Amino acid sequence: MCVDSKAIIQIGIIDTTFMKFSKKLSKHYMNEDLELSIVIPAHNEVAVIKDTLLSLYSRLEMEQLSFELVVVNDNSSDGTTEILDELCTVNQRIRRIDNNPPNGFGFAVRCGLDAAVGKYVAIMMADASDDPDDVVKFFRMAEQEGLDAVFGNRFAKGGEVIDYPLLKLCFNRLTNWIIALLFAVRYTDTSNAFKLYRQDTLEGLKPYLSHHFNFTVELPLKVIVRGYSYGVLPNRWTNRKFGESKLKIKEMGSRYLFIILYCLIEKWLSVGDYRKL
């Protein structure tokens, strides 16, 4: 498969920089009590995956955090697998996890959550749409305030969206306003994939049901319905510059509806069986 020549040049530059950073790694990394795991599902992201990982890695290193980047290779066929192998070889903090079929965004994230070992776990996209600065802000808020989860809101004051396709934007706002109304919450960006959870909170959100992008809605709604504490921070989102978006509106409408109705039924009829103890 052809790759943009600019992306190839960029990858060459990143290799050298990444090697320099990797030499700073602690020899006892595998024995650390990790503060933070970042789960990154990746399907055919050859043009951006190195840039995404370098930006994130360098920002977390600046904060002197103990962390790992758990990249879930979701049946990629474009060279993403080979790039991840290269990065894992030179940097212990990057772990490649293969999501065996069935594939899909929800399955990939679930695979990464099962593999993550940090006290806190954040979910980020492989296409560089999420800002590494926001990961630090989310982690600090959760740690300082003792929260079970921190959610991003791209549409709150201080948030930002860049190059959001108009049709997807309209679908996003309508869906999120309906969710806010049904669950009587002020949070209006439930479908935002960028969120952070305590490891033990994730255990309390099981069993997971969603196979695809509706997983981004399932987790926060269960946090809300099951009585876990959460905070909301504005975050920045930039549309991908390379590759193809994996979210297909035609395929997702009924899946979003399914998980919304499931969480509503749990809220109304479970009489607190799943609430946080």
Encode pLDDT of 202-245 as tens digits: 999 999 999 999 999 999 999 999 999 999 999 999 997 765 65
Q: Is the pLDDT of residue 79 over 70?
A: yes
pLDDT over 70 for what percent of the chain?
84
Confidence bin at 277 (pLDDT 50/70/90): confident
Backbone φ, ψ for residue 241 (5° rounding) = -100, -20
Q: What is the pLDDT of residue 21?
A: 47
Structure tokens given for 3: 């790759």
Contact yes or no for 269/261 (Cβ under 8 A): no
> Domain limits at 15?
5-269
Q: Is the pLDDT of residue 11 over 90?
A: no
> What are the angstrom distances between the C-alpha of 168 and each of 19, 43, 236, 249, 253?
38, 20, 17, 7, 12
Q: What is the pLDDT of residue 96?
A: 96
Q: Is the pLDDT of residue 31 over 90?
A: no
Residue 29 in any domain: the answer is yes
Residue 277 in any domain: the answer is no
Q: What is the pLDDT of residue 135?
A: 98
Among 133-147, 148-162, 204-218, 234-248, the minimum mean pLDDT is found in 234-248
Structure tokens given for 24: 């700073």
CA distance 118 to 105: 21
Residue 221 vs residue 12, higher pLDDT: 221
Contact yes or no for 54/17 (Cβ under 8 A): yes
Q: What pTM was estimated for this model as a whole?
A: 0.86
Residue 92 in any domain: the answer is yes
For the residues of the chain, what is the DSSP string, one character each? ----HHHHHHHHHHHHHHHHHHTT--TTGGGS--SEEEEEEESS-TTTHHHHHHHHHHHHHHTT--EEEEEEE-S--SSHHHHHHHHHHH-TTEEEEE-PSSPSHHHHHHHHHHH--SSEEEE--TTS-B-HHHHHHHHHHHHHHT-SEEEEETTSTT-EEES--HHHHHHHHHHHHHHHHHHT-S---TT---EEEEHHHHHHTPSP---STTHHHHHHHHHHHTT--EEEEE-EEE--SSS-----HHHHHHHHHHHHHHHHHHHHHSTTTTS--
Q: What is the pLDDT of residue 243?
A: 58
Buried b (16+ CB within 10 A) or exposed e, 99-112: beeebbbbbbbbbb
Structure tokens given for 27: 């020899």
Read off the pLDDT of each residue in 164-179 and give the average, rounded to a whole number.
Answer: 92
CA distance 265 to 277: 20
Q: What is the pLDDT of residue 27?
A: 39
- CA-nearest of 168, 181, 162 to 260 is 181
- CA-nearest of 42, 240, 30, 238 to 123 is 42
Here the CATH number for the domain that contains residue 109 is 3.90.550.10
Residue 250 vs residue 83, higher pLDDT: 83
Read off the pLDDT of each residue in 2-15 and give the average, rounded to a whole number.
Answer: 35
Confidence bin at 129 (pLDDT 50/70/90): very high
Confidence bin at 52 (pLDDT 50/70/90): very high
Q: What is the pLDDT of residue 63?
A: 95
The tally of domains found in the chain comes to: 1
Q: What is the pLDDT of residue 14?
A: 44
Residue 275 in any domain: the answer is no
The string of pLDDT tens digits covering residues 100-122 is 888 999 999 999 999 999 999 99
| Residues forming a β-bridge with 155 | none
Q: What is the pLDDT of residue 32?
A: 67
Residue 225 in any domain: the answer is yes
Helix axes 132-145, 49-62, angle to 10 degrees: 40
Confidence bin at 271 (pLDDT 50/70/90): confident
Residue 150 in any domain: the answer is yes
The string of pLDDT tens digits covering residues 64-73 is 999 999 999 9
Q: What is the pLDDT of residue 1?
A: 26
Residue 274 in any domain: the answer is no
Q: Return mean pLDDT, the chain.
A: 87
Peptide bond into 207 cis (omega under 30): yes
Residue 153 in any domain: the answer is yes
Read off the pLDDT of each residue in 77-99 and give the average, rounded to a whole number.
Answer: 93
